[in-house]
Each structure stands twice: as structure tokens, then as C-alpha cells.
Amino acid sequence: MRYLGVNKGWTCSGKMLRNGGVAAYLDGRFVALAEERVTGKKYAPGYSESLKALLRHQELSLGHFDRIGVSTCCERQELALQAHELADHPRVESVNHHLSHASLAFYSSGFERAIVAVVDGGGNVLASGDDEVQADDWWAEPREQHSYYLATRRHGLELVCRYSNSR
């Protein structure tokens, strides 16, 4: 099995999402590359150059991946499917921001089971509806502050609870 994960560089409303890059699970091993390592720009957003470098180095194409996950933050999770170069790819799916952190932490840990805590202070916006969150107002919206998962190799990650800034 081969999985690819990327994170958007910009929200749909124009907020830059720093520290971009790619991570891949390739037949039992993990490979990751930060966008800033390829571009030479500290906190570089997006995944364009790191994806090209990873595919070139691993001698792969996007067609070699079973699934492609895209994560975003500071906006609703479903917006991860819009406004980036892989948006129309048939294997792309939206991945919750905190779940993407938890997955990489757990699956690269070597543990058979664990409790995973994600506390990064600004995951996906939890507000529902059609209103677009403005780039300058994302912090005022209800959003993930910390999330907790039970994780096992056999059953994957199960969200136990999530706290938002609106509590």
C-alpha cells in the first residue's frame, strides 16, 4: 500500500499556512520532506516543490499511490479539496488536520497501541455552513484546539474527544 499526504499552502480565503510539505507511506516505510528544505525559504507553505522532489527521488508518479490525503487548517476540513494543484485528482480526499498529526505520530512510532494527544492550538474550523471564513477572522471561529485518539494497529485511530475554543 502507498499513501501520500500533503498540506495546502493557502486557505481558500487567502491565509498562508506555513511549514508545508509531503509525507508518504511506501510499502511499510515512511518518507517525508518539508517544503522549506527544497525551496530554501523558511516556513514555506504548500507542497509543490517537495512533492516533485519526493516523486523524483522515489522514482514514482501520482498514479503509484492508492490514496492521496490533503490537510488544511484555519478553515473547514472539506475546503482541503479546493484551491491547490491536486484538487481535481481522482484519489484526493480531505483529511482532518488533527487526525493527520495523530496518524503520523502513531504510525511512525512503532507502538501497537497508544493514546495520541494533538495540541496545536489551531486545527480545522468546526463551524458549519456555507460562509467562507475570512483570512483575518479564522481565529474567532470555533476550531480544534486539542484532540485525543485511541490508536491500535489493528483498528486505526478513534477520536475520543475534541475541544474547541468555543467551550
- Please report the DSSP string for 87-132 in residue order: TT-TTEEEE-HHHHHHHHHHHTT--SEEEEEEE-S---B---SSPP
Domains within the chain, CATH numbers bracketed: 2-164 (3.30.420)
What's the pTM?
0.87
Q: Is the pLDDT of residue 137 over 80?
A: no
Res. 24: pLDDT tops 90: yes
pLDDT of 6 strictly over 80: yes
61-105 pLDDT per residue, tens: 999 999 999 999 999 999 999 999 999 999 999 999 999 999 989
Quick one: the chain helix, strand, coil %, rounded to 5? 25, 35, 45
Q: Which residues of 6-45 are buried (b: 16+ CB within 10 A; e: fewer)?
A: bbbbbbbbebebeebbbbbbbeeeeeebbbbebbeeeebb
HSE at residue 152, side-chain half, CA atoms within 13 A, is 2
Tell me what pLDDT residue 166 has.
Answer: 73
Cell of 151: 490508536
